[in-house]
Amino acid sequence: MNIKISVKYQFQDITRALIIFCGILLILILTLFIPGLQGTTNGLEISAFIFLFVIGLNTFKENFGMFLQNGVSRKTIFAGKLLSTCVVSAIMAVLSCVAKLGGGYRDIQLGTLYEMLYTERMASISPVLVVVENLLMLFCCCLAFMMVGYFITIAYYRMEKHWKLLISVGLPVLCFVLLPIVDTVLGGVIFLSIFRVLMFATGLQFDSPYICMLSALTVTAVFSGLSWLLMRRAVVKN
C-alpha cells in the first residue's frame, strides 16, 4: 500500500465525523438568516480545535492494527497520517472563514480568533492580508491540536494500565489542585510565568500572528516527532 492510499483511507476514516461537524456549522450559518436575530459570537474556531483534538484521540488503534496486518510499514502509516491531517486542517480553516463571511449578511457578527487577538494589526493592513493570515493561523493551529491528540492516544496505547491510571488521575490533580496551591504560596510566580509564555507564543506581545503560526508549527513538529518515536516500536494489541 502506497502513501496515497494510506492518506485516502485515513481521511475517509474521519469523513463521517467531519460531515457531522460541517452539518452543525451549516445549521449555525443558516440561523444567521433568521429575521430579527441579533448578537455577537466569538471564537468559533475553538470548537474546530476541540473537534480536531478529539479526532486525533480516536484515529490510531484501529487504523494501526489494520495497516500492520496488511503489511503496511509504519513510515507509510505515519506519512499518511500527517498528510491527511494537513487536508483536514485546511478544510477546517476554510470552513471557519466561510462561517465568518456568512455572518456578514445579518446583524449577527461572528468574531474570529484572529480578530480577538490582533485587533490593532487588522486596522493597519489590507482586508486581503487579514483573510490570508487568518487562514494560515487557523491551519497551523488545527495541525497542532490534532497532532497533540494523536500523540496522547499513542502514548496511552503504549502505556501499561497502572501508568494510564496514574496519569489520568495525577495530571488533573497536579494542574488544578497542587499547582494553584504552590502558586499561591509563591505569590503567583508560576501562573505569571505561564501567562508571559502564552503572550509570547501567541504573538500578542508583538502583535504578530506569524509568531503564533511558528509556535503552532513547532508544537506540531514536536508532537509529530514524539508520535513517530512511540509508533515505530508499537505492536498490535487486542
SS3 sequence of 142-183: HHHHHHHHHHHHHHHHHCCHHHHHHHHHHHHHHHHHHHHHHH
Question: What band does 48 get if pLDDT is binned at 50, 70 and 90?
Answer: confident
Measure the CA–CA gap between 141 and 211, rounded to whole angstroms.
12
Q: Please report, as a single letter, which amino acid is at residue 114.
A: Y
Question: What band does 37 get if pLDDT is binned at 50, 70 and 90?
Answer: low
The set of cell numbers assigned to 9 is 483511507
DSSP 48-115: HHHHHHHHHHTSSHHHHHHHHHTT--HHHHHHHHHHHHHHHHHHHHHHHHHHHHHGGGSSEEEE-HHH
Measure the CA–CA gap between 102 and 177, rounded to whole angstroms.
42
Start-to-end C-alpha separation, the chain: 23
**Whether residue 76 has pLDDT greater than 70:** yes
Residue appearing with cell numbers 502513501: 3
**Whether residue 159 has pLDDT greater than 80:** yes
pLDDT at position 25, please?
75
**Whether residue 35 has pLDDT greater than 70:** no
CA-to-CA separations, 14 to 8, 18, 19, 87, 229, in angstroms, rounded: 10, 6, 9, 12, 24
Mean pLDDT over residues 57-72, rounded? 88
pTM of the model: 0.89
- Cα 88 to the center of its chain, rounded Å: 10
Mean pLDDT over residues 51-70, rounded? 89
pLDDT at position 1, please?
57
**Whether residue 38 has pLDDT greater than 70:** no
Average of per-residue pLDDT values in the chain = 86
**Whether residue 99 has pLDDT greater than 90:** no
Measure the CA–CA gap between 207 and 228, rounded to whole angstroms.
34
**Whether residue 90 has pLDDT greater than 90:** yes
Residue, of 42 and 68, whose pLDDT is higher: 68
